[in-house]
A = this chain, B = another copy of it.
């Protein structure tokens, strides 16, 4: 019985049709690869099964449902962000670096970012991230209550922006095209008498709106934190 637990990894599993031996880890890695290679819309249980060389329903031996699988993958993304982080002792620079790492990792896995932005996993890597961020803010000299408030704002800002930009990135070609033509076709051609402010800013609007405003917002947010310390 003890052996079963300790050697869980080595339990004999029947290989699939194509000889793969399934595991939680292999499924998560394949899931991430599928999203990275073929886009978020390619992630269905059937396609994941096919990529694993297994029947889609075999995955349900390892994850209760698709949502549970994606939450596990979400904690994995936090791990990836943390792995690239090294504290420098400069709290503002550290916050900025952490924000950019989280944002970048999320944008590389948009489907997961969208699903997990508003979820608390309570898993290993999420806890480490909370501890690290609270440490940075408390180390900056904020009292406990303020550190918590700013941690909350910081993490919600980064996660909500990640989800927003991930959703934009995941739009189908037709929808992305519609956004471009809304800006160039509609906003670029409004009568100046009726829309003087848009007319005065057209060039800036057309060049700015397709890009993310995350860096601008982050910098404004961090400068406000610095000002209250």
Chain A residues packing against B (C-beta within 8 Å): 67, 117-122, 127, 130-131, 134-135, 138, 144-145, 147-150, 152-153, 156-157, 159-161, 163-165, 167-168, 171, 174-175, 178-179, 181-183, 185-187, 190, 195-198, 200-201, 204-205, 208-209, 212-214, 216-217, 220-221, 223-225, 227-228
Contacts and interface: CB of A to CB of B under 8 A. Distances in A.
A208 B148 contact: yes
Contact of A156 (B119, B121, B190, B213): B213
Contacts of A216: 149-150, 152-153
A123 B24 CA distance: 46
A133 B181 CA distance: 21
A175 B71 CA distance: 11
Given A164-B159, A217-B157, A190 B127 contact: yes
Contacts of A122: 178, 181-183, 185-187
Nearest to A195: B131
Number of copies: 2
B175 A67 contact: yes
Contacts of A186: 122, 127
Nearest to A138: B197
Nearest to A186: B122
A168 B152 CA distance: 14
A131 B198 contact: yes
19 contacts: A119-B171, A119-B175, A121-B182, A122-B178, A122-B181, A122-B185, A122-B186, A127-B198, A134-B198, A138-B197, A147-B204, A149-B213, A152-B216, A153-B220, A156-B212, A220-B228, A221-B224, A223-B227, A227-B227
B130 A213 contact: no
Nearest to A165: B118
